[in-house]
Amino acid sequence: MDDSDQTQTETPTRITDPLTNAFGSLKDLAPELDSLQELATRGSWRSILDKVSRARSLSLLTLPHHHLTYLAYNALALMKLRRFDDAAQELDSLEDFNSSSYRYESYPHAYPNRTGSMVPFSLRWLHAVLPFKMLNRQEGLDRFYLLLDFVRDKLRQKKDEKLDLSASVWRKREVFVVYSLIGYHLTGKEFGVCLNLVRELLKNSDDFDPVLVSKLGYIQMQIGDLEGASKSFNRVEEVLKSKESDGSVVELRNLVNRNKALVYLIGKDYVSAVREYEVCIERDGNDVVAVNNKALCLMYLRDLSDAIKVLENALERAPTVMLNETVVVNLCSMYELAYVNHSDIKRTLSSWISRVAPDDFDSSCMRI
């Protein structure tokens, strides 16, 4: 979605809210954009680069917002393929995001009666993420906090104007940006900053967010506040009890069981943790966290054979969902522990992955 001042609706997408739609359809947003969206969903990032190059060379992009939308897809594809210098060059080709060149009212004949910025939110997000990919952590943090300020300014504006739908969109973006910041600060073990971010978000929230409260519990566990973590996890479980009659709470129920499993993991009660993860998997076989963590618990219990079977079966059953570097790294580590001929087994796995993996899968994680 662009940053237009008009009330807009979201188009569901798998790629972390990079390109939602302020127009009637994806085809209205830009030529062939629906095919780009499909390619992104499949992880066909090289094909996206080809399509963008074709559209540019044939001058298919006739309106300013066409160029911005295609540039966002192109930059995302370059980052997914770890071509970070090329992605930086693409983003550097833009003027300041607040430039009048990127406002609808600067082109009244092309966009009659439209006002506001046409810059997709995705471009602002990619601009913040890129420094982390290029190992410039401080610049990345600076950009993310500037993005958070921008989002909160927009959120306040929409609330003041009583544009409830638009405010809801910006609230989701605020949560998304804060979650990203929490992830980066967790990587740096800056738990105090993470606690402040979570608590500020909770304070400003009108609704109970079980995922955010669970995140609070996880951070509390990291700093040794087991009592506080238990209280946070219990709050999530209480919300579940109030929704027992709701048939659409599978994700929330799994969240509760995963929280319980974390408590068991801290106490090294791996048998009980496995039991909680099995409940999750029975409820939703595509729960990647539960599948991966169940296998790790079995490994800790020295049951390498079953641990390997858990991951192999999951990959075979649902490769699109389960195939990520974390799962593959863990499986390869188990091979190394279990088999003398682990190199041959990993090559067989690598051959299979090369046929089914998206373009951005990092095969170096297999350590062959």
Average pLDDT, the chain: 89
Could you give the CA distance from residue 43 to residue 56 in angstroms, rounded to a whole number? 21
Secondary structure class of 103 (helix, strand, coil) = strand
Characterize 167-176 residue by residue with b for buried, 16 or more Cβ atoms within 10 angstroms of its Cβ, and e for exposed: bebbbebbbb
Average pLDDT over every residue of 51-72: 92
DSSP 221: H
What share of the chain in percent tops pLDDT 90? 77
DSSP 25: S
**For residue range 4-34, what is the model confidence (pLDDT) as tens digits?**
443 332 322 333 333 333 334 444 445 577 8
Residue of 64 and 27 predicted with greater confidence: 64
Could you give the CA distance from residue 129 to residue 176 in angstroms, rounded to a whole number? 13
Residue 97's pLDDT band (boundaries 50, 70, 90)?
very high
Could you give the CA distance from residue 119 to residue 121 in angstroms, rounded to a whole number? 6
**For residue range 220-279, what is the model confidence (pLDDT) as tens digits?**
999 999 999 999 999 999 988 877 655 558 889 999 999 999 999 999 999 999 999 999
**For residue range 99-145, what is the model confidence (pLDDT) as tens digits?**
999 999 999 999 999 999 999 999 999 999 999 999 999 999 999 99
What residue spans of 96-242 are helical by DSSP H? 121-133, 137-160, 164-187, 191-203, 210-222, 226-241
Average pLDDT over every residue of 83-109: 95
Contacts of 326 (CB under 8 A, 6+ apart): 292
Q: Give the pairing type, strands 3-4 and 116-117.
A: antiparallel
Exposure on the CB side of residue 68, measured as CA atoms within 13 A: 27
- Predicted local distance difference test score (pLDDT) of residue 166: 84
Q: How many CB atoms lie within 10 A of CB 183?
A: 12
Secondary structure class of 3 (helix, strand, coil) = strand
SS3 letters across 198-216 = HHHHHHCCCCCCHHHHHHH
